[in-house]
Structure 1
Amino acid sequence: MGDLHEIYDRYEQDVFKYLMCLCRNVDLSEELTQETFYQAVKSIDRYNGECKMSVWLCQIAKHTYYKYLEKNKKEQRDAVQDHILHTSPETEFIHSEDKIALYRIIHLLEEPYKEVLLLRILGDLSFKEIGEIQMKNENWARVTFYRAKLKLKERSKLGYE
């Protein structure tokens, strides 16, 4: 165990500096340095001495960094997909516009556009549910909602607030 402490004391700064060159982030470099030495301890029996210890450790550091990137890329991809799946255009519209002005414009819309918009936005109902409430079908609800959004855009451009 003493040998492992000596290896860590001797090469920790080299591995850290190498990782800093790769990722340019102090916190991440520290974390990956620890992970590198953890992986090195797990596989110390595979070190055969054909290369310098620092080279072997930097190879482990490089692979540790690549694993981090791959994992992080997958997490970012999953987060983006989750955001796309759970954020609707109407929700983004509400968050990006002044709510009071939006509701004033909606209030001026004629039926059934007003009701469909409110059921979709405030009620968070599916198009199928809106169609059932209106005694129509899902396609009718989608088309009416689309047309209501067009009317909203027209009125907001004309300044009907």
Structure 2
Amino acid sequence: MPTEPEGEEQIAVWALVADAQQGRAEAFGELYDRYADMVFRYLYHRVSDRQTAEDFTSETFVRALRRIDSLSFQGRDVGAWLVTIARNIVRDHVKSSRFRLEVSTADMRDADRATDGPEDAVLQGLTNEQLLACVAQLNDEQRECIVLRFLQGLSVAETAAAMGKKDGAIKALQHRAVKRLGNLLPEGLR
């Protein structure tokens, strides 16, 4: 594992972290701009409610600001740290309200249709609807792994950090989830 950030993007992000730790509000604002959409998408997939996801996104960044001084480079992206905070907020919510999280597909289908041409949107919407219906049938851990890895684009290491597991456990979990998805998907989508 690297002991210092590598690559232009990672170096820039960790420079923003260092500036935010020195009290530069603009630096934290830039971190927010870089990661707010990713955190929102993660939360939206978990809670299936836009308003709740927006509230939890705000809470994620409030907690991140309070804890920014404790953040140090440990070989993972700042996004993984933020997703971990978001994940803990969802857990707190589930514990406090006994709220069962479901994967909502309606808004995701609508978002996909808005970005494609009419013909592509219909085909893509049907494909996404079927895929998301299958993802909804996975157990909670498998679903979270798939969302983090493929919908959020996190690496294995970042997913492991966000889920509080080891890299090997994530690889095995992902393998089982993908295998199960393969069995659940209709023949034409495999």
TM interval, short-chain normalised:
0.3 to 0.5
Bigger radius of gyration: 1
Higher relative CO (Cα under 8 Å, sequence separation at least 6) belongs to 2
